[in-house]
Copies of this chain bind each other. A is one copy, B any other.
Amino acid sequence: MSTLGLIEYQDSSPEVRAVYDDIMATRKTDWINNLWKAIANDPVTLKRTWESIKQIMGPGALDPLTKELIYVAVSVANNCNYCIASHTAAAAKKGMTPEMFKELQAVIGMAAETNKLVTGYRVEIDPQFALPFGTTK
> What is A's interface to B at a CB cutoff of 8 Å?
1-6, 31, 33-35, 38-39, 41-42, 44-45, 48-49, 52-53, 55-57, 60-62, 66-67, 69-89, 91-93, 97-126, 128-133, 135-137
Contact = CB atoms under 8 A, between A and B. Distances in A.
Q: How many copies does the complex hold?
A: 6
B78 A121 contact: no
B103 A67 contact: yes
Contacts of A108: 70, 74, 116-117, 120
Given A39-B121, A79-B79, A107-B57, A34 B113 contact: no
| Chain A, interface SS category | helix
A115 B38 contact: no
